[in-house]
A and B are shown apart, each in its own frame.
Chain A
């Protein structure tokens, strides 16, 4: 090896023809080529993993955004729904879902008969095609609009989880044989309804707006409360962590004296960023719930815990952004007779803005996906009621959060919840994507060269 170099590169390195590569050049180029290859391979592995992950989530979760529905004609008799005849919603509310269930059953039976579909199923068995949730939906619709009473209306009701699963490939005739919740005859009826154009698949807005539902009604489970809860918490984190984090970093970076005390603070902030999130959950439970007496499962507690968790991230990002502003800019401002504060607010902060915003949004994104600390403060509870608007004290109402909802659904036994959980992950990913796009947009918007 050494001999070869000695032979091919005699005397100085700059001698010989430029048209012939000497052995050093060849070696150097070879090393560079190999290094590029390794890099490319690494990137490809990363992309492949990402694609694998996305396809697996999309294939199992996208169907959550579609829902099988059945079109039936329902008669709403006055004598059953509003005996008094005054259409007073308070009186009408006395009729529970038990009063409405037979209406749907009769409606389905009538629809089947009217379309000349043959089935050996009893009316009760046929009604199992319809989700239990549809009864409550019909009742709500009538209560909102009492004029419907006495009429025969065409309603689009949700199909039950098993029928929905049949059209999403989860349920087959073979599996129905062994399933106590569905029989092949019911699947046949569904297909007959489909032939008549009465059974359709449509976009499932309820998945995004409805609250969670019980174990037996996966088809009705939605993300409404979880999305609201997550939004509320992000709001709290943004409102608290951004100003506190920026103020702390500006003080530490621009005003604080450089001494052992500030060094200590600095080391501790870096350490805080590395603390496992569940520790923040325990802290939140001890301080906000047990000590301060805030309610469990409330977005305010979740928001406070996530704020604590996000603060170090924001402080570190902001300090890095402030550090990257050239000192000559500060000198220029100070040299003109600007005060320290003027130099910071007029020149340094605007230049650091892209970095601060990116850091903040990444911190928020991290908080949005955080699960562990929220489990500890009770946000995993089953919540059917939407929280009020934030200005009406909604921050103190029970709610859940998107990642917790995912966790919750993966715990349930019905395979339909796997679809729901994957769908929720898609929603979460879309939110994260939107946040990152915002970060990129803001960075572009504020970016300035110097």
Chain B
């Protein structure tokens, strides 16, 4: 059954121009060379999964795409990364504007110590996405629904977001990112703290987001990568070892390292 879905998706992604293109990306943390010459094209309206053993640089590469590495003083990014053909490391690009366009859900849930409502409403507020209170209410409700948190949170919108369970916090962070209506959504292990039911809901959301956005998701679960993504990139020790159609990566990988990773021998 999933094979059928897969072929369907591969067809419609192939027609699109890449949303993000990365060429010769190198990232250094001081003397540590964390990303080594990565070239990748990420299509629009597609879910791309990054997989690989812990410490291989998935998060680091993800953070290059919305310039969050700028906030780490020792991090240095080289190479060429373009979104819609525009170099995001160009001097004229304001990273703040870029991040409004490229949303991010972090590996560790990090809700603001404010109410659930204010957490979700923060992005729309600073970007002026709502004209009035009822507009904002709608955005908040919509975002919470999409993140599968509405039923649990609707009666406690004014309570602190930090009072939620770990999995609920992660969904709150997803709702918060979705509420700003980015064009690209970067998700760093969004389901690592979720139970199977919430995971299924988030995966449903990712699938839905694919209709309008480009989604990049880092995951340690092969099954999840196989379920939600159309393209998969396998990272190993800072190298992009293999990148291609998800179905192909999981059924007939070309590189022996990919094969041993997905069959559980490394990582």
> Which A residues contact B (CB, under 8 angstroms)?
257-258, 326, 328-340, 342, 346-347, 351, 448-450
Q: Contact check: which of A328, A337, A346 meets B127 at CB < 8 Å?
A: A337
Min CB gap A258→B, angstroms: 5
Q: Which residues of chain B come closer than 8 Å to A339, judged between CB atoms?
A: 96
CA distance A332 to B104 in the complex (A): 8
Known: A336-B103, A337-B96, A448-B113. 15 other contacts (CB 8 A): A329-B113, A331-B68, A331-B110, A334-B71, A335-B68, A335-B99, A336-B123, A336-B177, A337-B97, A337-B99, A337-B101, A337-B123, A337-B127, A337-B180, A338-B96
B103-144 Cβ-contact flags toward A at 8 Å (1 or 0) = 110101011110000000011001100000000000000000
Q: Which residues of chain B come closer than 8 Å to A333, judged between CB atoms?
A: 112, 122
Min CB gap B105→A, angstroms: 8
B202 CB-CB contact with A under 8 Å: no
Please tell me if the beta carbons of A450 and B103 are within 8 angstroms of each other in the complex: no
CA distance A450 to B19 in the complex (A): 36
Please tell me if the beta carbons of B96 and A335 are within 8 angstroms of each other in the complex: no
Min CB gap A378→B, angstroms: 48
Q: Which residues of chain B come closer than 8 Å to A328, judged between CB atoms?
A: 106, 108, 110
Chain A residue nearest to B104 (CB atoms) is A335
Please tell me if the beta carbons of A338 and B162 are within 8 angstroms of each other in the complex: no
Min CB gap B56→A, angstroms: 21
Q: Which of B138-174 touch A at CB < 8 Å?
A: 160, 162, 173
Quick one: which of B103, B113, B123, B160 has the most chain A CB within 10 A? B113
| Interface residues of chain A: helix, strand, loop or mixed (majority) | helix
Please tell me if the beta carbons of A335 and B108 are within 8 angstroms of each other in the complex: no
> Which B residues contact A (CB, under 8 angstroms)?
66, 68, 71, 73, 96-101, 103-104, 106, 108, 110-113, 122-123, 126-127, 160, 162, 173, 176-177, 180
Chain A residue nearest to B186 (CB atoms) is A335
Please tell me if the beta carbons of A337 and B106 are within 8 angstroms of each other in the complex: no
Chain A residue nearest to B70 (CB atoms) is A334
Q: Which residues of chain B come closer than 8 Å to A347, judged between CB atoms?
A: 112
Please tell me if the beta carbons of B99 and A346 are within 8 angstroms of each other in the complex: no
Once A337-B126, A351-B113, A449-B162 are accepted as A-B contacts, the answer to whether A331 and B100 lie under 8 Å apart by CB is: no
Q: Which residues of chain B come closer than 8 Å to A326, judged between CB atoms?
A: 110
CA distance A55 to B119 in the complex (A): 53
Please tell me if the beta carbons of B71 and A331 are within 8 angstroms of each other in the complex: yes
| Interface residues of chain B: helix, strand, loop or mixed (majority) | helix
Q: Which residues of chain A come closer than 8 Å to B113, judged between CB atoms?
A: 329, 351, 448-450
Q: Contact check: which of B71, B103, B180 meets A330 at CB < 8 Å?
A: B71
Please tell me if the beta carbons of A332 and B111 are within 8 angstroms of each other in the complex: yes
Q: Which residues of chain A come closer than 8 Å to B101, judged between CB atoms?
A: 337
CA distance A389 to B29 in the complex (A): 59
Min CB gap B197→A, angstroms: 25
Min CB gap B80→A, angstroms: 23
Chain A residue nearest to B127 (CB atoms) is A337
CA distance A351 to B97 in the complex (A): 25
Q: Contact check: which of A257, A340, A346 meets B122 at CB < 8 Å?
A: A346
Q: Which residues of chain A come closer than 8 Å to B110, judged between CB atoms?
A: 326, 328-329, 331-332
Once A258-B73, A449-B113 are accepted as A-B contacts, the answer to whether A334 and B106 lie under 8 Å apart by CB is: no
Q: Contact check: which of B97, B127, B173 meets A332 at CB < 8 Å?
A: B173
Give 3 closest A-B pairs by Cβ, nearest first: A337-B100, A328-B110, A450-B113
CA distance A258 to B100 in the complex (A): 26
Please tell me if the beta carbons of B112 and A332 are within 8 angstroms of each other in the complex: yes
Chain B residue nearest to A328 (CB atoms) is B110
Chain A residue nearest to B179 (CB atoms) is A336
Q: Which residues of chain B come closer than 8 Å to A258, judged between CB atoms?
A: 73
Please tell me if the beta carbons of A448 and B180 are within 8 angstroms of each other in the complex: no
Min CB gap B61→A, angstroms: 16
Once A328-B108, A448-B113, A450-B113 are accepted as A-B contacts, the answer to whether A334 and B73 lie under 8 Å apart by CB is: no
Please tell me if the beta carbons of A336 and B160 are within 8 angstroms of each other in the complex: no
Min CB gap A337→B, angstroms: 3
Min CB gap A430→B, angstroms: 35
Please tell me if the beta carbons of A336 and B99 are within 8 angstroms of each other in the complex: yes
Q: Which residues of chain A come closer than 8 Å to B123, judged between CB atoms?
A: 336-337
Min CB gap A424→B, angstroms: 44
Q: Contact check: which of A331, A338, A449 meets B126 at CB < 8 Å?
A: A338
Min CB gap A339→B, angstroms: 5
CA distance A336 to B68 in the complex (A): 11
CA distance A156 to B112 in the complex (A): 64
Chain A residue nearest to B97 (CB atoms) is A337
CA distance A351 to B66 in the complex (A): 26
Min CB gap B75→A, angstroms: 13
Please tell me if the beta carbons of B71 and A336 are within 8 angstroms of each other in the complex: no
CA distance A336 to B172 in the complex (A): 13
CA distance A450 to B163 in the complex (A): 8
Q: Contact check: which of A335, A448, A449, A450 meets B66 at CB < 8 Å?
A: A335
Q: Which residues of chain B come closer than 8 Å to A342, judged between CB atoms?
A: 126
CA distance A219 to B176 in the complex (A): 69
CA distance A175 to B104 in the complex (A): 85
Q: Which residues of chain B come closer than 8 Å to A330, judged between CB atoms?
A: 71
Please tell me if the beta carbons of B127 and A335 are within 8 angstroms of each other in the complex: no
CA distance A257 to B110 in the complex (A): 25
Q: Which residues of chain B come closer than 8 Å to A450, judged between CB atoms?
A: 113, 162
